[in-house]
Structure 1
């Protein structure tokens, strides 16, 4: 068969993280011809997720729900219904309907992973959504003064610099499907999201980290636009990368994607009042470590600053496409 008539398969991309930033980015990526697997943190212990986690002994569903919604091909009304959060109903206040549905699917199917798979089918999700592990993980942090803070939701409230985060149990087993997805990936994409409570918790699951290090896929890091109070105060792009390096012991990434678009003064002021500021791009320090930097205007502002999903996904797809061409 001639090269012209060869069927070119969709690149396999594994996206790892959690939180709002991951969901925003996936809304753009699902429009590209990519075979997407999202591996999502299960360390959340706050809000509705924390309650369901404790009462039903299931992994926290919140980040998984957001990723399912982002990748779903369902009618907008259905996704709005699943994101609906009860306000004043006794016993339901604070819970989102999607979280309750994931809990119900887990009960019906017998385990959380199968529940996620079944809800993915109902929502016509483009790709696969996998928890990093099939059990809830307790995240702990050692702070600058040596004290230990327990719980993902408590770490940013400690009011100190974070020295390191670690898991309990330390030898938590990752989902085998997640390891296999990494082993088969053409591209591995990490971020954006809370550095110490959404990104690093996935990377310190031992076998997941080893699979990423061993992979020959192109590895991309999407850096946050703004610092996060209590987690990354005054962090530069290089500081984000250094924190990951200290936890993993490897320079994981080939490319770092960062925003260099101007943020309007009134938006800066709004974030400054919350203790956040734009993440500084220390370009020389980053490139000296061997990272290739892709910088562009990647932000949109509505109520909050968010990544421009369309522009960001364009850069990611072009990087992956070029990598695939070079590999042929």
Structure 2
């Protein structure tokens, strides 16, 4: 094992946690590969201890209002990015709670086109209470984005649309289809306490082969949230250019992403949909290599309870699958210890399919850290505060 921790680690470590709490501006760079929902509460808790966490977000969402935007503007999924930006926003800053409400608002699903257009125009003219309540100059910046979206929307279907997604989409198109400037502007606007980036800035989709030999293209068909849960376990996951074609495509991460990964002081493969949130982030070429070149601790915090994507997968299966995708860039030269060092579990309160085979995990050179992660309030899921404190104690 190339990474060795010679001292005993205390989880949670009250001294370290208090130090981080007092100076969050100097807090550690914890990097997460995740989607937008499962880690939302944990991300908000983390802002109490560090303002330097890094969130690499999947841009492959192909369902709901994200699908409407993607189809109309030929872009990647923006919703999970918006979700994480809002989770990390400082709610104590003047105007931020109002912006949070606006960004979280969805237009009605049951209204007719005229009603939807009227409400959108009311927002664009700053007459809508959700916009009117935002103090200037933030209100003017947001109004400009409404106007920009109106200029390109044509016959866009507003039914059920997320206002936050529309605003970010307007910024993306106005910045010549670059997302980094948009994230920067809104990170400053709402005092985001961390860094948020999509894994790649491309209009591509998730594709999978199931154990029964069938093929599925589209994240929304894998998660069990918008469509019926998959009838068979996932055998393999890859990226495809089109929803109508499962042919694999190759895409490299940018140097910016490589540098961001190398800057992390701890890398976490966190809770969330195992394939569509965690593994999806590892699919672009260069991710595994960048992770292996960083000598910081790498930790897997598996889900407790059920995950529709893990049909037939034990915890040991999850670990082996995770290692496969982490090492796929160069399996002969990327060692297990280069990409995964610890499994963080709660064997007393957590529910793990197939149990926790510590001997098998240890044979891989991976250490199991067993501590309280599930509270009475959060059961059967991981408690955001307990999880945050455990991860921070390991930095």
TM-score between both structures, scaled by the size of structure 1: 0.83
Q: 1:258 aligns with which of 339, 345, 357?
A: 345
Q: Which moved more, 1:248-257 or 1:134-143?
A: 248-257
What SS does the corresponding residue of 1:20 show, helix, strand or coil? coil
Alpha-carbon distance, 1:197 to partner = 0.8
State the partner residue of 2:4: none
Q: 1:80 aligns with which of 101, 114, 119?
A: 101
Residue 149 of structure 1 pairs with residue 247 of structure 2 = no
What SS does the corresponding residue of 2:38 show, helix, strand or coil? helix
State the partner residue of 2:356: 281
Q: Map 1:1-328; keep pairs closer than 5 Å.
A: 10-33=27-50, 35-74=52-91, 75-87=96-108, 88-89=110-111, 90=113, 91-110=157-176, 111-156=178-223, 157-168=229-240, 170-229=249-308, 231-249=309-327, 251=336, 252-262=339-349, 278-279=352-353, 280-299=355-374, 306-320=381-395
Distance (whole Å) between structure 2 residues aligned to residue 301 and residue 43 of structure 1: 34
Distance (whole Å) between structure 1 residues aligned to residue 360 and residue 51 of structure 2: 32
Larger strand fraction of residues:
1
Distance (whole Å) between structure 2 residues aligned to residue 247 and residue 316 of structure 1: 23
TM-score between both structures, scaled by the size of structure 2: 0.70
State the partner residue of 1:268: none
What SS does the corresponding residue of 1:44 show, helix, strand or coil? coil
Distance (whole Å) between structure 1 residues aligned to residue 55 and residue 312 of structure 2: 29
Q: Which moved more, 1:41-50 or 1:285-294?
A: 285-294
What SS does the corresponding residue of 2:37 show, helix, strand or coil? helix
8 Å Cα contact 2:36/2:81 also seen in 1: no
Alpha-carbon distance, 1:147 to partner = 2.5
Distance (whole Å) between structure 2 residues aligned to residue 47 and residue 301 of structure 1: 33
Distance (whole Å) between structure 1 residues aligned to residue 205 and residue 72 of structure 2: 15
Q: Which moved more, 1:193-202 or 1:306-315?
A: 306-315
Distance (whole Å) between structure 2 residues aligned to residue 119 and residue 58 of structure 1: 19
Aligned length: 300
Pick closer, same or farther for the CA change 1:300–1:107 going to 2, 3 Å. Answer: farther
8 Å Cα contact 2:35/2:278 also seen in 1: yes
What SS does the corresponding residue of 2:391 show, helix, strand or coil? helix
Distance (whole Å) between structure 1 residues aligned to residue 233 and residue 29 of structure 2: 37
Which runs of 5 or more structure 2 residues have no equivalent in the other structure?
1-22, 114-156, 224-228, 242-248, 328-334
Larger radius of gyration: 2
Distance (whole Å) between structure 2 residues aligned to residue 235 and residue 145 of structure 1: 14
Distance (whole Å) between structure 1 residues aligned to residue 196 and residue 376 of structure 2: 28
Alpha-carbon distance, 1:159 to partner = 1.0
8 Å Cα contact 2:216/2:222 also seen in 1: yes
Distance (whole Å) between structure 2 residues aligned to residue 161 and residue 102 of structure 1: 35
Pick closer, same or farther for the CA change 1:302–1:311 going to 2, 3 Å. Answer: closer
8 Å Cα contact 1:262/1:297 also seen in 2: yes
Pick closer, same or farther for the CA change 1:84–1:278 going to 2, 3 Å. Answer: farther
